[in-house]
A = this chain, B = another copy of it.
Amino acid sequence: MSHYDTLKAQIASDFGTPAAVIDLDIVDANITSLQARCDAAGIANRPHIKTHKSPVLACQQIAAGAKGITCQKLGEAEIMAEAGIDDIIIATNLLGAARSGRLAALQRQLSLKCCADNQVTLSAYAEAAQQAERPLEVLIECDTGQKRAGVETVEEMLMLAGQIQDNPWLVFAGLLFYPPLDGWPATQTFYQHGAEGLAEMGLKAGIVSTGGTPNLRHLGMLDGATEHRSGTSIFNDRMMLADGIASPDDCAFHIYTSIVSKATPLRGILDAGSKTFTSDTGGLSGFGQIEEYQDAKIHKLSEEHGFLDFSECQSMPEIGEIVRVLPNHVCVSVNMFDRLIAVRGGQIAGEIAVAARGRLV
């Protein structure tokens, strides 16, 4: 039996399938390599925990040298703060959390850095900070082509910076970018004009944050950048393989799933569907890569079944066989599980709670 056959049998017997499995040896290497990449570029590392949602792994990232972490939801930050992490940027307009009083409650405990791209969010932040009796640091989110959140012009950025400056409960902390994957010329122009405008107001962007795992290839290219947010690189996935930023040896997360049905020789069914992989294709064809049968296609999902097409396969799995599937988008697939099974040296080493899963506010 191969190493993986033994492991699969153990996982089937201890946990059943489908199971979410991470290889800690690869996780360690990915954490180290992200930190080394940031160190080499002279950019502080602030990993995005949306990918793993685990305080254990976030603490490991900090122990490896990360300056702090990035969260996308206040509920994630609450879980990370409980684990003692105190340097947190929440990279979105947090209106829902502000209005429910939870932003104020967490800000009372530790000084957060939040993001905004509009005046409504700034007002909600000021109110939360006042309730917390502690000024809130705010980064302005700027969009330089991705058409996500973020102000699109330097003028709007400066207007918001002025409003932060004028509000005793807000502190201007810097600028947050998610630059397009083009080498960042538009981001550089935006930053330069922005920095000049800020200087005229007597302000300076203490933090200039770039983001994205595919953008690691441009790390350090933005003159003025101080830190980078990468989430996916801790596990990697089929999207990162397709992008070329990761190799198969860098992929730490797999779904172990059983072939449970074969109505005809060329048609099979996995015991994992859209409630395991999610329907997020990440723009790729199919819903994951079966490592043992690379020519098999997961061509359709129902909620608990993955539909397989073996028509291009030389060899095919039998009913009962367990396969390892690399999902297209690891961040959303991790989010379907309460716990990840951790493997080290080919042996089951324990479980890691996806503690911030379901923290939607």
Whether A56 sits at the interface, judged by CB under 8 Å, is: no
Residue of B nearest to A152 (CB): B263
A18:B263 contact, CB within 8 angstroms: no
- In the complex the two chains form, is A120's CB within 8 Å of B320's CB? yes
In the complex, A67 has a CB within 8 A of chain B? no
The verdict on A95 contacting B260 (CB below 8 Å), with A303-B72, A358-B338 known, is yes
Question: How many Å lie between the Cα of A258 and that of B94 in the bound state?
Answer: 10
Tell me whether B271 and A100 are in contact (CB under 8 A).
no
CA distance A357 to B358 in the complex (A): 10
A1-31 interface with B by 8 A CB criterion: 12-19
**Given contacts A274-B278, A358-B336, is CB(A262)–CB(B118) below 8 Å?**
yes
Q: Are B263 and A150 in contact (CB under 8 A)?
A: yes
Given A261-B117, A263-B117, A92 contacting B304 (CB threshold 8 A)? yes
Contact A258–B95 (Cβ < 8 Å): yes
Q: Is the CB of A269 within 8 A of B337?
A: no
Q: Is the CB of B261 within 8 A of A18?
A: no
Q: Are B15 and A361 in contact (CB under 8 A)?
A: yes
Question: When A16-B100, A97-B16, A280-B279 are in contact, do A147 and B271 touch as well, CB less than 8 Å?
Answer: no
Bound-state Cα–Cα, A358 to B124, Å: 34
Q: Taking the complex as formed, is A132 at the interface, i.e. its CB lies under 8 A from any CB of chain B?
A: no
Chain B residues within an 8 Å CB radius of A272? 360
Using known A-B contacts A96-B271, A100-B13, A303-B331, determine if residue A261 contacts B149 with beta carbons closer than 8 Å.
yes
Give Cα A269 to B93, complex, Å. Answer: 10
Instruction: Kindly state whether residue A276 has any CB partner on chain B within 8 Å.
Output: yes
**B360:A275 contact, CB within 8 angstroms:** yes
